[in-house]
Amino acid sequence: MVSKILVAVDGSECARRAFDSALKLGKDLGAKVIVMTVVQPPSMITMQKDLQGTIEMLLEKEAKILLANYGTIAEKRGVDFETILAIGYPSRVILNTAESKGADLIVVGSRGLGGLKELFLGSVSHAVVQNADIPVLVVK
């Protein structure tokens, strides 16, 4: 039985489709949908500390807006949800959050790059699929 669905979003069109799929599943199954986004801090060695801090702050602000927008959509559709903003390496944070929240399913978007590259999953979705202990739905 699926009672908690974790969906990772990043503002891309693939992530939006993954979110829509997670909401539909959540509504159909009566499951809670955990909507998360992960801010990966810039790791440029030559970047000044104050500039790095400013970039991190801007990324977090954008992530909060993104989650608020997704939360509004989930609420309008009548789906039980929660939002999470995390910081770190995306695939690791997604997997750790799925475990700590007791998720039964992870939903992620694939990367649509076109041509031959479309045969391969994005690096985050690939890492999640390869390392998850629970089912993963990759939405194209």
Give the pairing type, strands 105-109 and 81-87: unpaired
Q: Please list the alpha-helical segments (H only) found in the chain.
A: 13-29, 49-76, 90-101, 123-131
% of the chain beyond a pLDDT of 90:
71
Band of residue 112 on the pLDDT scale cut at 50, 70, 90: very low
Predicted confidence (pLDDT) at residue 116 exceeds the cutoff of 70: no
Q: Give the pTM.
A: 0.89
43 pLDDT tier (thresholds 50, 70, 90):
low
